[in-house]
Structure 1
Amino acid sequence: MVNTKQPIPGAPMGLSGRDFLTLADYSASDLSYLIELAHDLKKKLKFGEVIQPLQGKTLGMIFEKSSTRTRVSFESGIYQLGGMGIFLSTNDIQLGRGEPVADTAKVLSGYLDGIMIRTYSQEMVKELAANASIPVINGLTDVYHPCQVLADLQTIEEIKGELKGVKLTFIGDGNNMANSLMLGAAIMGMHISIAAPEEYQPDHTITEQAAEIAAASGGKVEITSDVVHAANQADVIYTDVWASMGQESEASAREQAFTGFQVNSKLLSMAQKDVTFMHCLPAHRGEEVTADVIDGSHSVVFQQAENRLHAQKALMTALMG
């Protein structure tokens, strides 16, 4: 099927009608626009301004994986923008009973103005987008989590005043968060250092892609198993759970593998004095991060979580018109 997505009047040139499957599909200027729009929408909401560019628009939200932040930020966000969100569990729609992804995409394109999907397979998201005539947003897969990183970039810019040249250190599993953080940081000209045990380091293909992007943007991508080296002079230290959703059976093995990769006050002391601690949540205090760090003065995890709302609103405004 030929993709028939068409620009939607009123959205920025080049963003209207597009899919959001991976940050690698977006330029630095695209991401800068989305971040600035998120800042603006956040400020206006705080001042009580009602901004509703999506009146009459409907977002379908497909969930194969459960969620707190993704569901609430999108559902609340589309409502605040004047539109409506429909929660679609795969247990409740025919997709979960074997209807082809392509058929689901074509059917939903006749009912909705956008689709957000949170699932396991990146290939499923790509197939959905290839067959939908409306924007498709990747709310999370096992490979990427671009919506989270858009909010993370917004948060870092709020705190540090800029993105280019900032050193972001991610400590933990080379998972979907590590992949998307690498790409986002590389696009924005940041220095990202990822510290993980050798057997849990990020996908080599994505690492090479990020390094190539960084070479053009003035950024830097570094993969290491040395947490001290990674944390040295970091402006931001970021971590995530050691066992993600669907990996519960590996929890014990992973806990052993990640011994020494905990973010604690000693590790934080190796970074810049004004280092910022981030976590995409939910967190396991006492495992990947100590309570005194995540609940301490350097932590911005709840500001970061709130920004999911504003970043998602910016994304929907730009893509859905």
Structure 2
Amino acid sequence: MAVLLSTKAQAMKAWRDALLAVDPTLDIRMFPDAGDPAGIEAAVVWTAHDMAELRRYPKLKLIVSMGAGVDHLLRPPGPPPGIPVARLVDRMLTTQMGEWVLLNVLRFHRQDPDYRAQQRDRVWRELPAPVTAERRIGILGLGELGTHAAGLLRGIGFPVMGWTRRPKAVEGVENLHGPDGLRAMAARSDILVCLLPLTPETRGIVDASLLGLMPRGGFVINGARGGHVVDADLLAALDGGHLAGAALDVFQPEPLPADHPYWSHPKVVMTPHAASITIPASAAPQVVDNLRRAREGRPLVNLVDFSAGY
């Protein structure tokens, strides 16, 4: 029985080599060269793969997302009924996202956009020193990524709040939850960081009403999914002067169209969905472990809860 890989062509070989390094006995096939559909027992896929295609494989036991998010796999028609889906919870993914969040929090906290503007204009002027303990950070989502980022920020002295749907205790992080908690946290967040999974309930969560609650001069950082942010509302908050800046790694759609206002906006810092990139060699042991569990009928790790959407 074989494992089907489906991702960008340039990444396919790295995934194949990483999986074979863990288990040299694996039969690896790279889409679209799947061979006999009845020979596929697991599919390791990323965003470009059509879920309808997986209905061709009658002996499929497992689908694995190559990233921490799975919203791309749950879009209609979704995975074949009854086939479990696992996501990656990988140390390297978590580390990279924490680095990206910390980079951008410090970028805004230490007034880097202002100093870069002064450099362009050849202006030598010292700005008032910021106080870390007075810069309040609000994190939307306290899963693996959000909890790790919160720890990094706390470690250098930022007061950190975290919002979740239901109460969740994270050491040193003030937890707010539910609709009232969301509004209360936004009103106190000088920098608002989105690390939520994308579900029907969280789509468009960063909208005009939420942004309007933030303190004037605040910043937004989105490393989750483009669908969390209502672009027109964020642009209006930036252009109107209510917000001072935004750091965005994810967009809707991707790649971002060349004529989109974000490209040239003076208050927007962009990266091309590169905040946290799966490293196959790091993720492969987890994938192989789940494959063995599926073969042996043992419980899977990091199984997606379809009712929750992640």
TM-score band w.r.t. shorter chain: 0.3 to 0.5
The structure where helix makes up a greater share of residues is: 1
Q: Which structure is richer in relative contact order (CA contacts within 8 A, separation 6 or more)?
A: 1
